[in-house]
């Protein structure tokens, strides 16, 4: 991808937030000849240890940005998505990934450690493009430029400012006023286990999702197969702690999943420590932009992780934003929003619906769900997923 002398080549972009979406946006903009800098509030780039799924719609973007070798080195290609019953391990459905998915959509599906992906993105950015210790405190849109003010006293001007600053986005609050994310009634225990500790389980290289009453459990390999990432999600009524990520004893997770299949429990027993995350979302915003300021990723469409598309949607946002700004300059924000809002809202709705489907209590509805999945009614066929996996975020909308 190179600049073609388009209208956007003369503008500058300030990206607020140095997560996966923000770094992808900066890299995509620079590849298209647009001057871009990232302003991250933290003192260093870091990710709490957790896995992320990079489906073909996202790997298409990342390959286009030159990350194919990085993904191949640190990512894992799962053979299938294997959905199972919580107590006896019975297969409910098994959808092929790896070869069939790559052959159909042209790009792989990867399972990755978030820190590996973040490091790969940061390494591709030229020196000096990431400014750490910059917490956004104010914005002024002067019509032809946006002034950003930071807690450290720095002031920056750019033609466009992009808020890629997460679910607690200061950019969104400055644009549209304060809004509190909604606790979804779900919390997630997350952990990473050295794969060698689990050798006796003879785990397949698949994404395994175990469905049970009031919760589900997901595990897969990351970090080139050296680690097993797990997410154990359960329901609770309230969340009162200020932190979203508390260190918790593995015994807490085990107690929550009492009676689950021995494989599930063996994985949790092998972890040194777990983090407990509260899962929040928000009603998708009907608009993301005001003047020369727009939003990206969780800042505008935070969603439950039950479609494994949160990071992928942010990566898609980044690619589409870069393409729109490159072709139209600042007015391209209107097209960016028009293309992304309906698609992300659709994925958000399906992610929310999966909470009920995954967590059915044992009984008639659960048996009906299981029978439908066994009959191939899970919606996981390659044809059914084409609208997600086949999307070209650099090109045109397929919503």
Active site residues: 220
Phi and psi angles of residue 367, each rounded to the nearest 5 degrees, phi first: -65, -35
116 close to 291: Cβ distance less than 8 angstroms: no
């Amino acid at each position: 991808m190179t600049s073609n002398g388009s209208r956007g080549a003369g503008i500058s972009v300030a990206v607020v937030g140095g997560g996966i979406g923000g770094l992808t946006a900066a890299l995509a903009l620079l590849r298209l000849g647009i001057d871009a800098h990232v302003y991250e509030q933290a003192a260093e780039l870091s990710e709490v240890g957790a896995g992320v799924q990079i489906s073909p719609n996202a790997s298409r973007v990342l390959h286009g940005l030159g990350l194919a070798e990085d993904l191949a080195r640190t990512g894992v290609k799962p053979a299938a998505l294997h959905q199972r019953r919580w107590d006896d391990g019975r297969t409910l459905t098994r959808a092929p990934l790896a070869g069939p998915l790559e052959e159909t959509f042209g790009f792989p599906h990867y399972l990755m450690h978030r820190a590996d992906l973040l490091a790969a993105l940061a390494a591709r950015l030229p020196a000096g493009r990431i400014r750490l210790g910059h917490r956004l405190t104010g914005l002024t849109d002067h019509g032809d430029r946006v002034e950003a003010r930071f807690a450290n006293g720095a002031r920056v001007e750019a033609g466009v400012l992009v808020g890629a600053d997460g679910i607690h986005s200061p950019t969104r609050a400055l644009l549209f006023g304060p809004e509190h994310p909604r606790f979804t009634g779900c919390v997630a225990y997350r952990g990473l286990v050295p794969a060698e500790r689990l050798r006796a389980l003879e785990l397949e290289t698949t994404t395994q999702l175990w469905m049970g009453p009031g919760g589900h459990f997901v595990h897969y390999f990351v970090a080139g197969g050296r680690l097993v990432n797990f997410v154990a999600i359960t329901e609770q009524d309230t969340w009162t702690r200020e932190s979203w990520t508390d260190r918790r004893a593995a015994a807490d997770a085990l107690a929550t999943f009492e009676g689950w299949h021995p494989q599930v429990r063996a994985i949790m027993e092998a972890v040194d420590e777990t983090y407990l995350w509260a899962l929040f979302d928000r009603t998708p915003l009907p608009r993301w932009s005001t003047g020369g300021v727009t939003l990206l990723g969780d800042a505008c469409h935070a969603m439950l992780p039950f479609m494994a598309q949160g990071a992928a949607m942010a990566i898609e946002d980044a690619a589409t934003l870069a393409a729109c700004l490159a072709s139209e300059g600042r007015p391209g924000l209107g097209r960016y929003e028009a293309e992304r809002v309906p698609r992300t809202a659709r994925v958000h709705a399906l992610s929310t619906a999966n909470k009920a489907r995954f967590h059915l209590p044992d009984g008639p509805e659960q048996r009906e769900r299981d029978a439908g999945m066994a009959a191939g009614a899970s919606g996981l066929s390659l044809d059914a997923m084409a609208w997600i996996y086949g999307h070209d975020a650099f090109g045109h909308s397929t919503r």
